[in-house]
């Protein structure tokens, strides 16, 4: 199937919300890591999301070019082509665009999609995340709404965040010293976000409310998640706007989270969970295993010629792709998305 169109995307998110499961959203930085995500989704008959950050795009464009826009476009074009070989629905998304990168990352990608739509094609990316969570909430929404209005005209979904995710991810989001009160979105904030974004004609959006989330890898017990905050927010918008009001919620900082906490968030409307740190580790661990096990064959030790079967990059990168796919499959199972593709 090709990358999902807007109607299919909305149907996917409604399906997840109604049936209390979520899609894994996998950060990728190359064709190889994108292929790992596609493999995992297809193997478990799960639809899924592939996303590119500013740093991921810059890396994908190569050392000499160093363009986050060109790299993101390159990955997206690869996924558009390869996704047609799979019988699942795939979403292309960009992750954590801060306000200072709106003009240099987000807008050029939206312009690329506008050109494609004018030619009768799908947008390049299905959705984008504008992360203005570091701004006061009114400024966050004042920045987000006009961009959202523009995106809605070409069938793109917006993701926003209020409250700050701790830790660090490609230089985005919060920091390790983020004040505790900033890491928990209030019901009042959630009501304000709903009021501002729901006023956009024909627009659908996702909301990353924060409930103690932290990017990166931490030992058990360090991160204090409180998923009940999500329920309080959903209850607050229903109380003000009626029973039909709800958020499609996003769980950031999903790597390493307790499975019980993940389960709880699904009950409160989480339909997307970002996974990056754990897949990075899985990918690199497979390469490290290969290097240690085949040390003598990889290096030209003591004047020897080595063994090309071991130092051919395709050998260890294939192992890395397999390992990353296996970790994504674990996330798919944790999120109850296995076998729930709209095409299954």
Task: List, by residue number, the catalytic residues.
Answer: 95
User: What is the C-alpha R_g of the chain?
Assistant: 20
The rounded Cα 92 to chain-centroid distance in angstroms is 9
Tokens of 206: 């996702």
Positive or negative CA dihedral for 35, 37, 40, 45?
negative
Q: What is the 3-state secondary structure (H, E, C) of the chain?
A: CCECCHHHHHHHHHHHHHHCCCEEEEECCCHHHHHHHHHHHHHCCCCEEEEEEHHHHHHHCCCCCCCHHHHHHHHHHHHHHHHCCCCCCEEEEEEEECHHHHHHHHHHHHHHHHHHHHCCCCCCCCEEEECCCCCCHHHHHHHHHHHHHHHHCCCCEEEEEECCCECCECCECCCCCCCHHHHECCHHHHHHHHHHHCCCCCCCEEEEECECCECCCCCCCCCCCCCHHHHHHHHHHHHHHCCCCCCEEEECCCCCCCHHHHHHHHHCCEEEEEECHHHHHHHHHHHHHHHHHCHHHHCCHHHCCCCHHHHCHHHHHHHHHHHHHHHHHHHHHHCCCCCCCCCC
Can you tell me the distance from the alpha carbon of 73 to that of 52, in angstroms, rounded to the nearest whole number?
9
Residue 248's DSSP bridge partners are 206
Instruction: Assess contact for 71 and 94: CB atoms under 8 A.
Output: no
Instruction: Assess contact for 277 and 216: CB atoms under 8 A.
Output: yes
């Amino acid at each position: 199937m090709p990358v999902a169109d807007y109607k299919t995307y909305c149907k996917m998110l409604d399906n997840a919300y109604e049936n209390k499961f979520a899609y894994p959203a996998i950060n990728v930085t190359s064709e190889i890591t994108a292929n790992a995500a596609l493999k995992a989704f297809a193997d478990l008959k799960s639809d899924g999301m592939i996303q590119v950050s500013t740093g991921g795009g810059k890396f994908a464009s190569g050392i000499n070019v160093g363009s986050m826009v060109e790299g993101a476009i390159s990955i997206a074009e690869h996924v558009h082509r390869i996704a047609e070989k799979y019988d699942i629905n795939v979403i292309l998304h960009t992750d954590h665009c801060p306000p200072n990168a709106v003009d240099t990352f987000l807008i050029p990608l939206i312009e690329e999609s506008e050109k494609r739509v004018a030619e009768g094609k799908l947008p390049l990316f299905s959705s984008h995340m504008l992360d203005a969570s570091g701004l006061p909430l009114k400024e966050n929404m004042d920045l987000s709404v006009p961009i959202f209005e523009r995106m809605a005209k070409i069938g793109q979904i917006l993701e926003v965040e209020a409250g700050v995710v701790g830790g660090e991810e490609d230089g985005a989001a919060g920091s390790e010293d983020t004040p505790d009160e900033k890491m928990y979105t209030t019901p009042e904030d959630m009501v304000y976000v709903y009021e501002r974004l729901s006023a956009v004609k024909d627009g659908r959006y996702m909301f990353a409310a924060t409930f103690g989330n932290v990017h990166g890898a931490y030992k058990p017990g360090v991160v204090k998640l409180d998923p009940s905050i999500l329920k309080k927010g959903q209850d607050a918008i229903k109380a003000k706007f009626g029973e039909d009001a709800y958020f499609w919620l996003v769980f950031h900082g999903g790597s390493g989270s307790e499975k019980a906490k993940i389960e709880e968030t699904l009950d409160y409307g989480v339909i997307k969970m970002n996974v990056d740190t754990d897949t990075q580790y899985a990918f690199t661990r497979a390469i490290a295993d290969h290097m240690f096990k085949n040390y003598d064959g990889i290096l030209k030790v003591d004047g020897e010629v080595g063994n090309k079967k071991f130092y051919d990059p395709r050998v260890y990168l294939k192992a890395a792709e397999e390992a990353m796919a296996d970790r994504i499959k674990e996330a798919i199972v944790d999120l109850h998305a296995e076998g729930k593709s709209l095409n299954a």
